[in-house]
Each structure stands twice: as structure tokens, then as C-alpha cells.
Structure 1
Amino acid sequence: MQRIRKYNFKSKALFFLSLLSVMFFSSCEDVVKLDLETGETKLVVDAEIIWQKGTTGNVQVIKISKTAPYYNNTTPKVSGAQVKVENSNGDVFTFNETEPGSYVCNNFVPVLNMDYTLSVTAEGQSFKATEKLTSVTPIDRVEQEIHKDAVGDESIEIVFYYKDPVDQLNYYLTDYKADFLLYPEYTLTDDEFYNGNEINNRFTNDDDKIQPGKTINITHRGISKNFYNYMNLILEIYGGSPFSIPPGNIRGNIVNTTDSNNFAFGYFRLCEADKIAYLVK
């Protein structure tokens, strides 16, 4: 069977790539706030080029911020950066700042399996990353089933199916969003044991909040093997116990070409995606 890893990743800041989470410890009487050491401030680059099937993919957004102290309620935005992406043909796509920390390109041209290089200049530092735009097999159908647990309690389970290509190794990242979820839930899938066959991914809710009339928004991405490995580390650490301590900083593919020791958090990735909004019956 295919290997599927499901996580409820509760991230404070930029999607799942900022690597910053906030925990509040409380009891009936007291609020406990730990005196934590503040580390060196790092740039955070949330650079996902996502091309939804059936669209031109010409509008893309890259967000840049900085790490913040553990208990901060806001994420510092980085303004004044120069952001561009160049493909292997030499075409350059410029991302212009439309609001603090948000950089938008309106004429991006996505091409499957083409290499793209991200260049960011911010606060006197230059950063680069190169990745390939990865395709995704479309979702064939979405069904719902009744899931029965060990004690016989029933709940609704959403299942979507897709045909994995036989001629290549594939890696997938899926997120589920709904109004009853405070944070998205994610599923990582690879086809090592299921290459060329139909794969199904299942979404359940432990609180039994998948009810008729609710809409589940599914975004199913094709991703590179390197990004799969990166996300696997991120989600295993932050999707587990909230009291676990990461063994160290997990670096993405964004390299500081000015000062290699002053790395940035984040991962430049380019994904074709299939999106479905499923209304629970």
C-alpha cells in the first residue's frame, strides 16, 4: 500500500514554512509563561508557486517576513525586497510589493518540468533557490464513507481517488481546509509501494465535525522528492507533541549567497495542483 502521513500542523505564521508555533499554557487559576531565550532573527521566505489545473497560473505571490520572539502576536513583514524568478529559458518574472511583505507577479508563465530560480535581495543580503515545477495527477472522484471506530462510533470520512502515473516516482502534498478547522490538515503521500495504481487519500475529523452541509476544500499538489523530505521532517516535528523540542533548525533550499551562515527559513517550491470543494451530503 502507499505510504500516507497525515498531520494537523498548527503553525503560527506563514502556512507551514515559517517554522514558528505558539503555545499557551493555562490552568483554571494561573497562566504560565516561560522565560525563553530569543534567538537570532532570520528571514522567512514563503515562496510557493502553485498552478491550479484549468487556470493560467499567471498570478503568483511570495511573502517575506522575519522570525519573531516566541510570544509575539504578530509576524514582522519585510518590505523593500527585490524578488524575481527566472526560468531555464532566461525569462524573468518580477514580483512587486503590493502590501508590506507581500510580493506579486501578474505575468508568470508556468511550464511543467521546467527549472526556475528564485532570487531575493533583502536587508543587504542575497538569497537564491532553484526547483522544478512538478506535475500532479488529477483527482478522479471524491466519495464519502461511514467510518466506524473500535467502539462502534460512526463518523463521516471523505475519500478522494487519483491514478498514479506508472512511469515515474511521485510525491504528493494535500491540504484540507474547512470552517470547523482552525488550521489546515495535511497529508504527505509517496507511491513507492503503489506506483502506477489508483491511490486514495482519506480525511477524517476526530471531533466528528464533518457533517452534512459542510464544505471540505481539498488542494492536491505534486511535489519534488526534496520538498517531500523537507515537509516530512517539518510535519513530524511540529505535527507531534506540542511539547517536543526540534533537534535543530531545518533548512530549506534557499541559500544566502552573501553570507552562507545567515540562512533563511522556507522552501522555494513549484507545484501543479488540483483543487476541489466537496459538499458533504
Structure 2
Amino acid sequence: MKSHLYHIVLSCIGLALCACVDQINLELEAGQSNVVVFGWITDEAVPYEIKLSWSNGYSDQSGYLPVSEAKVYVTDQSGTQYDFVEIATSGRYQSDPSVFVGQPGGIYQLTIHHGQSIYQSAKEELPPLSPVQDVFVDFVADPADFNVKPEDENFFVSAFVEDDVILENYYRWKVYVNNELRNKPEELVLFDDQFTNGNKFKYDASNVLFTAADQAQIQHMSLSKGAFEYYINIKEQTSSSALTPRIQPGIIKGNMSNPNNDNELVLGYFGASAVATIQVGK
């Protein structure tokens, strides 16, 4: 459908260039709504949240409607079930941190019952987290070589990672600037140990820039291979860099499905991470 729509748009541009007088009205299909799931658990003793909503059709401007009144729970490798309770009718379901805290090495699976439908994630491991050392603020160029104005965004977070020699490690840094998460697709900080396995290596979050006056902190997170690839796909499809042009747009499939209906597309991802939150000094 997207490819078809793309060709329609190109045709319309050509017609508009040839004849700018006639008005062309297109009737597009409304499209189908799909369940969108996003949830993450960590090894922090905090409430975890699962968000459920409906995707929009092409012509639907009503916003993302919540999927309410669902039964939502996570099970671990021993079969223990942890229930998530909806906040009002928001489509946001939260766990009780006094009952459920994720454990590194644990295997978790999300299950959702809504009406007659069942949605389930693949089993997701909460990977152990290799530590970081010497977290600091670096700069794009030496400020001593030229006049850096206070409003110039020339600074970014760097750190040394003590990578685990046994495991394949995948990492994400959430960078907060003045307590605000920098979370645009081009600001996703993702890296792995493909060429640095078992070594201490330096990584630069040089795609998230801020000024000398800003305060920064990072959440150093472990990812499964599936979660890493999911975020890489998001970043690649939304990149606007001239050096890394966008790939052909397409549906980004996560790890959710309807076990009773292989043909139903379920969007989103359920993941698990170990987390270390670090205040960055200058």
C-alpha cells in the first residue's frame, strides 16, 4: 500500500507540473488499525509501564487511541506471573515494584488479553550490563583553538566501557540534558562490541550535542540483540544525514505477535535492560 501511495504521489507531482490549473482530489483508503505495544522492564526497583494503543489509518487524524481494559502480565523463566494494572483508561499499565523487579539473566515474556485476542512477545532476556568508567564531557573541537559561544552546542558525553569477554554485548545510552531525555531518532545512542569484545574501549555519544552550561547524565543500558536491531532499524529509517541517506521506508517489526493469528500485524516491542544511571561531570 505504501509503495502504491508513493507512486500515486509521484504521479500527482508530475500532473501538477504539467497542468497547474486543475485541482486533483485523491480518495485514499483509511487503512487498518493495528495494536501497538511498547514496554520495558529493567533491574531498577521502579514501576514498569506497558503502553497499548491503536495505530492510525492514513487519513485518520484522531490521535492514537488507547487499548483499555486489557489483562496484562509478564511471566519469568520459572512461570511466575506479574500483573500490570491500568491507570484509569489510559492504555498505560504499571507493575508493582514491591512485587516485581527484573533480574539480570532473567527471561521474561509479555502477554496481553484484550477481548477475544491474545498478544504475546517473544521471550526476552534481561542481559547483564558491563560497567562504564571515567564518564566525562568531551567536545567537538578544542575550545582553545577558537571562540566558543555559550550557546554553541559543541559538547557531548564520552565514557570507557569495560566489555564482558564472554557475552555478545549490545548497548544503548539514554542521554538526558538538563533532566530532559534527548530522544529524537537521530539522537539514539546505540553500539555493540563487535570489534571491541572483551576490551576496555571509549565510546562517544557525539550525535547528542549540548552547551557548556548544560547538565548531562546518561542511562547506560544493556540490550538484547533483537532490541538492538529494532532500534537500529528505527534510526536508519529516520536518518536524514547526507552521508547516511534514508533506506527504503517499511514496517518495522518488533517482537510482538498474535499466537492465534499469524496474519495479524502487531507493532512495537517489549524489552528488558540492566541500567546504570550516571551524572556526568565537566
Q: TM-score under structure 2 normalisation? A: 0.75
Give the conservation status (yes or no) of the 8 Å contact 2:165–2:198. yes
**What secondary structure, in the 3-state scheme, does the structure 1 residue paired with 2:132 have?**
coil
Larger relative contact order (Cα-Cα within 8 Å, sequence gap ≥ 6)? 1
Code of the residue aligned with 2:139 in structure 1: it is I
**Residue 153 (structure 1) shift:** 7.4
Give the conservation status (yes or no) of the 8 Å contact 1:135–1:273. no
Aligned residue in 1 for 2:124: 131
Distance in structure 2 (CA, Å) of the matches to 1:76 and 1:253: 21
Q: How many pairs align?
A: 240
Query: More strand per residue: 1 or 2?
Result: 1
Aligned residue in 2 for 1:81: 70
**What secondary structure, in the 3-state scheme, does the structure 2 residue paired with 1:268 have?**
strand
**What secondary structure, in the 3-state scheme, does the structure 1 residue paired with 2:227 have?**
helix
Code of the residue aligned with 2:127 in structure 1: it is T
RMSD: 2.9
Off by >6 Å, runs of 4+ in structure 1: none
**What secondary structure, in the 3-state scheme, does the structure 2 residue paired with 1:134 have?**
coil
**Residue 111 (structure 1) shift:** 2.0
Aligned residue in 1 for 2:166: 167
**Residue 249 (structure 1) shift:** 1.4
Code of the residue aligned with 1:227 in structure 2: it is A
Distance in structure 1 (CA, Å) of the matches to 2:215 and 2:165: 32
**What secondary structure, in the 3-state scheme, does the structure 2 residue paired with 1:176 have?**
strand
Distance in structure 2 (CA, Å) of the matches to 1:90 and 1:205: 41
Q: Aligned pair 1:63/2:51, yes or no? A: yes
Aligned residue in 2 for 1:39: 31
Evaluate the alpha carbon distance shift between residue 244 and residue 153 of structure 1 in structure 2; reply closer, same or farther with a 3 A threshold.
Answer: farther
Distance in structure 1 (CA, Å) of the matches to 2:125 and 2:278: 24
Q: How does 1:155-194 map to 2 (within 5 A)?
A: 155-179=154-178, 183-184=183-184, 185-194=187-196
Code of the residue aligned with 2:116 in structure 1: it is G
Superimposed CA distance per residue, residues 146-189 of structure 1 (whole angstroms, 9 cap, x where no aligned partner): 3229x967622321222101122111112213258764521111
Evaluate the alpha carbon distance shift between residue 194 and residue 68 of structure 1 in structure 2; reply closer, same or farther with a 3 A threshold.
Answer: same
Superimposed CA distance per residue, residues 66-109 of structure 1 (whole angstroms, 9 cap, x where no aligned partner): 11246737321111011011111111100011231110110213
Evaluate the alpha carbon distance shift between residue 153 and residue 264 of structure 1 in structure 2; reply closer, same or farther with a 3 A threshold.
Answer: farther
Code of the residue aligned with 1:97 in structure 2: it is E
**Residue 65 (structure 1) shift:** 0.9
Distance in structure 1 (CA, Å) of the matches to 2:85 and 2:157: 39
**What secondary structure, in the 3-state scheme, does the structure 1 residue paired with 2:188 have?**
strand
Distance in structure 1 (CA, Å) of the matches to 2:246 and 2:33: 22
Match of 1:122 among 114, 126, 143: 114
Q: Aligned pair 1:72/2:64, yes or no? A: no
Code of the residue aligned with 1:117 in structure 2: it is Q
Give the conservation status (yes or no) of the 8 Å contact 1:142–1:161. yes
Evaluate the alpha carbon distance shift between residue 120 and residue 153 of structure 1 in structure 2; reply closer, same or farther with a 3 A threshold.
Answer: farther
**Runs of 5+ unmatched residues, structure 2:** 1-25, 149-153
Q: Aligned pair 1:202/2:201, yes or no? A: no
Q: TM-score under structure 1 normalisation? A: 0.75
Give the conservation status (yes or no) of the 8 Å contact 1:230–1:252. yes
Evaluate the alpha carbon distance shift between residue 205 and residue 114 of structure 1 in structure 2; reply closer, same or farther with a 3 A threshold.
Answer: closer
Distance in structure 2 (CA, Å) of the matches to 1:244 and 1:123: 38
Give the conservation status (yes or no) of the 8 Å contact 1:204–1:210. no
Give the conservation status (yes or no) of the 8 Å contact 2:131–2:163. no
Identity %: 28
Give the conservation status (yes or no) of the 8 Å contact 2:35–2:52. yes
Distance in structure 2 (CA, Å) of the matches to 1:226 and 1:96: 27
Aligned residue in 1 for 2:12: none
**What secondary structure, in the 3-state scheme, does the structure 1 residue paired with 2:195 have?**
coil
Query: More helix per residue: 1 or 2?
Result: 2
**What secondary structure, in the 3-state scheme, does the structure 1 residue paired with 2:140 have?**
strand
